[in-house]
């Protein structure tokens, strides 16, 4: 629901008018050749009209199975949709009759699915294979002006299946480079990853709204298909500058309540603290901090760090300041120590948030 609403908002902001809850009742051609459409608002019960050059009627699709006389062959169909009922092997109620594709009940109506299901069926029938079609975690894209790509469970499906307390959603509002150069509005460019909350935080779904969403989704679909965890995605190096790198930088969760807007060329969301060491450590994990911590201003580096809280940050490094090369240093979200940060770090650190930034080294 969230993603479709954002697609609608983007199209509406560019001049598309959406009439929700309205059903057309008649179309009449006017003397000048234009078409007058009358519709009824289901909320108010009132009728309204509009004049248009072209009317496109999206009536949907209905399977043409009645003409096949399937009942005479003993093939069962759904009484509601007239689609053919099959099992996991694509077999109908008649063992030697199979069905694949859009005509099958409960299958996604996507061409690539029909192609793969057909290929696997042939391999089982004539090639000695036992591989079945996996209909879970199928990637797809809606090619709206601002593309929407998705794979896996939606946020609503994940909550319904696992419970709100067991689901973590990481998200970000980002601005693609091509939008920045062209000065385009990127307010609806958005990405979210739906995960299980318990470690190792299995990725349940990915939803991407932005340029080339189909290209972005296709690659991450493989990872989700292979059972990727949130930690594994976060350990994946992004390609800069691309839209897909936004996926591997998702650090802000909805549960935290922090602003997920990505700011600056470093691509961090407001409310994040980042540190990178060039001498003692190979890297440092990026962690979320509470918004109330952002009280510092552009002052002396060490003073700016102290401005984040009443006490300096505590780093999970040894007091000697030199953990083994290549090890990880994680910034904690508690401020209980009173000694300077510099006693822990013997390499430059960089902290940034929106328009405030400072560099500190011992």
Handedness of CA 197, 203, 204, 208 (dihedral sign): positive
What pLDDT score does 110 carry?
Answer: 95
The ranges of the chain annotated as CATH 3.30.390.30 are 140-263
The pair of structure tokens assigned to 42 is 């289901």
The pair of structure tokens assigned to 55 is 């009317």
Q: What residues have CB less than 8 Å from 187, skipping those under 6 apart?
A: 10, 13, 173
The pair of structure tokens assigned to 227 is 């059972």
Residue ranges in the chain assigned as alpha helix (H): 2-13, 70-73, 111-126, 155-162, 177-182, 213-225, 230-234, 301-306
What pLDDT score does 341 carry?
Answer: 34
What pLDDT score does 329 carry?
Answer: 33
User: CA–CA separation, 57 vs 286, rounded Å?
Assistant: 50
Query: Mean pLDDT per segment of 10 residues, for the chain of length 362 residues?
Result: 92 92 94 96 93 92 91 96 97 97 95 97 97 97 96 98 98 91 83 97 98 96 97 96 95 95 64 36 31 30 34 35 34 30 34 36 34
The pair of structure tokens assigned to 270 is 């407001």
Handedness of CA 208, 211, 216, 221 (dihedral sign): positive
Q: DSSP letter at 309?
A: S
> Exposed, middle or buried, 278 (CB in 10 Å: 0-12/13-18/19+)?
exposed
The CATH fold assigned to 140-263 is Enolase-like; domain 1 (3.30.390)
The ranges of the chain annotated as CATH 3.50.50.60 are 66-126
What pLDDT score does 265 carry?
Answer: 58
Secondary structure percentages of the chain, helix, strand, coil, to 5: 25, 25, 50
Does 166 participate in catalysis according to the annotation?
Answer: no
What pLDDT score does 135 carry?
Answer: 96
Q: List Cα–Cα distances, 201 to 55, 170, 196, 207, in angstroms.
A: 47, 11, 5, 17
What pLDDT score does 334 carry?
Answer: 31
Which CATH number is 66-126's, of 3.40.140.10, 2.40.50.140, 1.10.10.10, 3.50.50.60?
A: 3.50.50.60
pTM check: above 0.75: no
The pair of structure tokens assigned to 357 is 């930034």
User: CA–CA separation, 293 vs 362, rounded Å?
Assistant: 22
Which of 96, 171, 240, 350 is catalytic? The answer is 240
Question: Residue 139, CB half-sphere, CA atoms under 13 Å: how many?
Answer: 18
The pair of structure tokens assigned to 235 is 């350990």
Is residue 333 within 8 A of residue 279, CB to CB? The reply is no
**Which pairing describes strands 283-285 and 328-330: parallel, antiparallel, or unpaired?**
parallel
What pLDDT score does 180 carry?
Answer: 83
What pLDDT score does 342 carry?
Answer: 33
């Amino acid at each position: 629901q969230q993603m479709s609403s954002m697609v609608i908002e983007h199209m509406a902001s560019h001049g598309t008018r959406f009439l929700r809850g309205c059903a057309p009742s008649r179309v009449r051609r006017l003397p000048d050749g234009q078409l007058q459409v009358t519709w009824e608002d289901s909320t108010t019960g009132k009728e309204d009209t509009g004049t248009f050059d072209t009317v496109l009627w999206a009536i949907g699709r209905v399977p043409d199975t009645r003409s096949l006389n399937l009942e005479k062959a003993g093939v069962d169909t759904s009484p509601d949709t007239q689609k053919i009922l099959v099992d996991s092997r694509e077999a109908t109620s008649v063992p030697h009759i199979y069905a694949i594709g859009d005509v099958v009940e409960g299958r996604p109506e996507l061409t690539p699915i029909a192609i793969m299901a057909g290929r696997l069926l042939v391999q089982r029938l004539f090639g000695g294979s036992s591989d079945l079609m996996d209909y879970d975690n199928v990637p797809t894209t809606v090619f709206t002006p601002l593309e929407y790509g998705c794979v896996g469970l939606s946020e609503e499906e994940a909550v319904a299946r696992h419970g709100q307390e067991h689901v973590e959603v990481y998200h970000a509002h980002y601005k693609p480079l091509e939008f920045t150069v062209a000065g385009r509005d990127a307010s609806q460019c958005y990405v979210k990853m739906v995960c299980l909350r318990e470690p190792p935080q299995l990725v349940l779904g990915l939803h991407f709204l932005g340029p080339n969403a189909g290209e972005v989704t296709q690659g991450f679909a493989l990872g989700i298909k292979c059972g990727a965890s949130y930690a594994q995605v976060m350990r994946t190096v992004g390609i800069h500058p691309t839209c897909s790198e936004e996926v591997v930088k998702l650090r802000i969760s909805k549960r935290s309540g922090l602003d997920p807007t990505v700011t600056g060329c470093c691509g961090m969301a407001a409310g994040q603290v980042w540190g990178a060491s060039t001498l003692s450590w190979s890297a440092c994990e990026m962690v979320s901090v509470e918004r109330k911590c952002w009280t510092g201003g552009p002052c002396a580096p060490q003073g700016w760090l102290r401005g984040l809280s009443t006490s300096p940050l505590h780093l999970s490094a040894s007091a000697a300041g030199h953990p083994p090369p290549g090890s990880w240093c994680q910034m904690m979200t508690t401020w209980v120590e009173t000694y300077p940060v510099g006693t822990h770090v013997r390499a430059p650190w960089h902290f940034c948030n929106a328009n405030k930034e400072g560099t500190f080294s011992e």
